[in-house]
Amino acid sequence: MPVKILIPTPLRSYAGKKDAIEVSAKTVDEAIKSLIDQHAELKAHLLTENGKLRSFINVYVNDEDIRYLQKESTPLQGNETISIIPSIAGGSAAAKPLAPVSQSIAEAAKQLSLSKEEILRYSRHLIIPEVAMEGQLRLKAARVLTIGAGGLGAPLGMYLAAAGVGTLGVVDFDVVDFTNLQRQVIHSTRDVGRPKLESAMERLKGINPEINIVGFETRLSSQNALEIFKDFDIIVDGTDNFPTRYLVNDACVLLGKPNVYGSIFRFEGQASVFGMPDAPCYRCLYPEPPPPGLVPSCAEGGVLGILPGIIGCIQANETIKLILGQGETLAGRLLLFDALRMKFRELKLRKDPECPVCGTHRTLHQLIDYEQFCGIPQQQAKEKEMSTSSEHEIDAVTLKHQLDQNEKIFILDVREPHEFQICRIPNSHLIPLGDLPSRISELNSADLIVAHCKSGMRSAKACDFLRKSGFTRVKNLKGGILAWSDQVDPSVPKY
């Protein structure tokens, strides 16, 4: 039965520098013996003197460990992939040129050299055959633009700076907020209130003063994207919203530049490389954005602080491989990461011939209005319509005053139970927005009902729903519990 044995990096020098070897075998034991027949040097590394697999070598058939199958006698049907997974501590590997290198970076690298300090700084790179002097000079010649100095931009920027990417561009217009510190490790507590760009650039310069850091303190837009992108070799997308994501994708495809993509939500992340020649783009994967409000942002849905660290590092890794021209990138593959189950899965991505920006009959030859494309203005108009009629709103100070006057008011909190645990307005009743239709009988239409949530959006929807259900005495607390904390009771924690 023909099976493929994947050779791990540390063992390739004993296997004719191959990364995979085909053998014919009916069991795992036969496969290993057949491998050793071809490459005798492997024997001492794989087997003990008694012919047993060494304890630091694990063998997998497809994604299953043979220890949980029938060990060495695990039968093979043919076409399986056998992986040999040795435990490694550091370790070195044999050189193996693979993916096509970015030719312009390689050319530019020929003009450069490293100083004595740089040689010392990058010494752990210089002794890896896949990087070595040539690779380090490519890193020095490379110009990488990271979009956003937030959750993904933090690890990305820091590792790319440390690795010696010669020109590192950063685009950000935001200010460091206290709630950013849980994950945006490029910023310190003392940076709260400072522009993110300023804080990030200072940190990057601290990590590596040898590199050139270029800041763009602006909101990336259809007007400036092509102009900003044109001087960079690789664009790394660390944004957290759909309009910018489509903008980055389209600008990269139009300019023919790789787009290293990452996204995060709660415990899950995704990464890929778009915009490579003959490989799919973000629009091939998702031709259209989800309607606004359907996919909550990290601010609304939360994110595990470590997650952007993991996904951002994967993006940094892909970026470095693109520069070095080494290994296999995620082009054509979507990597899915589940931090709770600690599982990585992979989906094959295909180029969509109908893709409007990279397909065979392109309809998109220039950047468009991405806010419009993602339905943002339409959504804002709807939200305004829901919340502006002032007779349907009450502000926090007025509510407090009326409560102090002993007016009978039913305070309806439509947030989620875990938000209710963080803070609440005294004597409020919790019915999460999603449960409201099934629990509407708990409300009395004769009462004056004041609905609130975190900042007023969900409760506006709740008020709208109640009015449509025949409730006439319903008001929305303007600005939600955040406004209550600001204007009435500062002891109520904000989140």
Question: Is 423 among the residues that bind Zn ion (CB under 5 A)?
Answer: no
Nearest to 425 by CA among 476, 493, 361, 345: 493
**Tell me, what amino acid is at 430?**
L
Calpha distance 217→214 (Å, rounded): 10
374 is catalytic: no
Contacts of 164 (CB under 8 A, 6+ apart): 118, 121, 122, 125, 136, 139, 140, 208, 210, 211
Stretch that binds Zn ion, among 104-112, 282-290, 441-449, 477-485 (CB under 5 A): 282-290
Contact 394, 476 (CB under 8 A): yes
Contact 28, 74 (CB under 8 A): yes
Q: Which of 284, 423, 453, 463 is catalytic?
A: 453
Kindly tell me which of 273 and 358 has the beta carbon lying closer to Zn ion.
358
Structure token digits, residue 397: 């100070």
Smallest gap from Cβ 222 to Zn ion, in A, equals 18
Kindly tell me which of 263 and 459 has the beta carbon lying closer to Zn ion.
263
Question: Is 245 among the residues that bind Zn ion (CB under 5 A)?
Answer: no
Stretch that binds Zn ion, among 356-364, 370-378, 417-425, 464-472 (CB under 5 A): 356-364
Site for Zn ion in 283-322 (CB under 5 A): 283-284
Kindly tell me which of 149 and 279 has the beta carbon lying closer to Zn ion.
279
Calpha distance 85→65 (Å, rounded): 10
Stretch that binds Zn ion, among 73-81, 276-284, 382-390, 396-404 (CB under 5 A): 276-284
Which H or E run contains 215? strand 212-216
Among 32, 154, 251, 281, binds Zn ion (CB under 5 A): 281
Contact 150, 193 (CB under 8 A): no
Among 355, 394, 460, 463, binds Zn ion (CB under 5 A): 355
Smallest gap from Cβ 363 to Zn ion, in A, equals 12
Which H or E run contains 285? helix 282-285
Among 66, 101, 149, 358, binds Zn ion (CB under 5 A): 358
Contacts of 105 (CB under 8 A, 6+ apart): 138, 141, 142, 233, 323
Q: Which of 298, 355, 358, 463 is catalytic?
A: 298
Total binding residues toward Zn ion, as defined by CB under 5 A: 5
* Nearest residue to Zn ion, by Cβ distance, number only: 355
Structure token digits, residue 171: 């685009």
Stretch that binds Zn ion, among 159-167, 191-199, 308-316, 357-365 (CB under 5 A): 357-365
Smallest gap from Cβ 144 to Zn ion, in A, equals 22
Taking residue 327's Cβ as centre, other Cβ atoms within 10 Å add up to 15
Site for Zn ion in 210-239 (CB under 5 A): none
First to last CA, the chain: 59
Kindly tell me which of 352 and 464 has the beta carbon lying closer to Zn ion.
352
298 is catalytic: yes
**Tell me, what amino acid is at 461?**
K
Catalytic positions are 298, 453
Question: What residue ranges bind Zn ion (CB under 5 A)?
Answer: 281, 283-284, 355, 358
